[in-house]
Amino acid sequence: MKRVLWMLFVLYGCNHDDGGDDGGGGTPAPTPPPEEANVFDENEFTDYRLTMAPGDWAAILNDNDGFRSATLTWKGTTLEQIGVRPSGENRFSGKAKPSLRLRFDAFVPDQRFHGLRELELDGLWEDWSMMRDRLSYGIYASRIHAPRAVHARLLVNDEYRGVYQAEEVVDDIMIVRRTVAPPTKLYHVWLMSGDQYVWLGPDHAMYVPFPFEPLTDEGGNHSRLVAMVDALNNAPDTLGTHLDLAVLINFVAAETAVTNTDGLTGDFGPYHHYLYHQDANGPFRIVPWDLNATWWAVSAERDIFHNFQQSGLTKRIQDDPHLRAEYLERLSELADGAASAQAVAARVDFIYEQIAAAAHEDPFKPYSNQNFDDSRVFIKNFAVQREASIRAQVAQHQGGTP
């Protein structure tokens, strides 16, 4: 038992600081500034209270876009005139437990919430376990920079709306927290019918604003992005000067470990990631987002090179002997560490015990308490099978079998 608790402390830390060094080694990310740290305290299960006009809340429930004014109260902090809107991809009118995007400067310029400009409150509509995002973010964060996430109760106009996940938004503030310096460019990479990274010529308008949506310096020069796509397709041996390959490999290893069916190697096309770089000549780094399609829906024996040929980024890892070998090493390390069955089980139990009572009382979740309870066992069993499968497949590939 002591060993399990020690592994939890080492892998996740008492405040779930990401702890990852953003590569295969190097300098850990700086400690988060004090004004931010308590928002994502792993050991706390707090209340977010929104007070707003009943008509505005009804509009959000009807999936009417646009920010509505509200007052937020959290742990003695009160912010007035924050913006609240429906969020997420699975949106529809009448959804009783919508995900929400809180924008703290929507109506008050430069207003911040403990250093944050925005915060996502995920309604956990599709995830019976209510923990897949948070569980998986921790595994990515053991290797690279990833958003932080903790659970909370949401009350709107004093009505309990259920268990939500407070999730860090990928923006310039998050990048500064990890690396001190702001990003020169930050892109949200959107899903499309095909590979976003295919070469379409030197005109940046072929890539920006779709599928690469710029979130900083929108009207600026996008030549670095074009150069990266050019190198990937036409001079792959130079790709490492444009893209941090160590970060990419760790990202993909984490995605494989948690069987992410909606990520870079997802079953609907490459999706759910961001890219950023921090100076004119710096390499791009990849950041994950939206990890609820993990630990389910597929066999735990999913091939560790599943869908690698659908994106130029993962195809490069599979096709290059040196990158492939590094990927197998990183995947093996995860099976020994953050993604091991022992570590996952301890993590699942910790989160379950923290949120179970509130989850059972959640009046708007679209699944039963039995579904929620059974998911705890399902994920732990899945993790046992996944670890065994990863070890067997890595050994097969390292033994020379293609």
| pLDDT in 10s for each residue of the chain, 402 residues | 433 433 443 344 433 343 444 554 433 444 444 455 589 999 999 999 999 999 999 999 999 999 999 999 999 889 999 999 999 877 778 899 999 999 999 999 999 999 999 999 999 999 999 999 999 999 999 999 999 999 999 999 999 999 999 999 999 999 998 888 888 999 999 999 999 999 999 999 999 999 999 999 877 899 999 999 999 999 999 999 999 999 999 999 999 999 999 999 999 899 999 999 987 778 999 999 999 999 986 799 999 999 999 999 999 999 999 999 999 999 999 999 999 999 999 999 999 999 999 999 999 999 999 999 999 999 999 999 999 999 999 999 998 554
* CB within 8 Å of 76: residues ≥ 6 apart: none
Would residue 184 count as lying in a domain?
A: no
Would residue 9 count as lying in a domain?
A: yes
From CA 248, how far away is CA 269, in angstroms rounded? 17
Would residue 143 count as lying in a domain?
A: yes
Strands 46-51 and 149-156: parallel
The pTM (predicted TM-score) of the whole model is: 0.91
* Domain that residue 64 falls in: 2-172
Looking at the structure of the chain, the number of domains it has is 1
From CA 174, how far away is CA 66, in angstroms rounded? 23
How does 272-295 read in b/e, with b if 16+ C-beta sit within 10 Å? bbbbbbbeeebbbbbbbbbbbbbb
Would residue 220 count as lying in a domain?
A: no
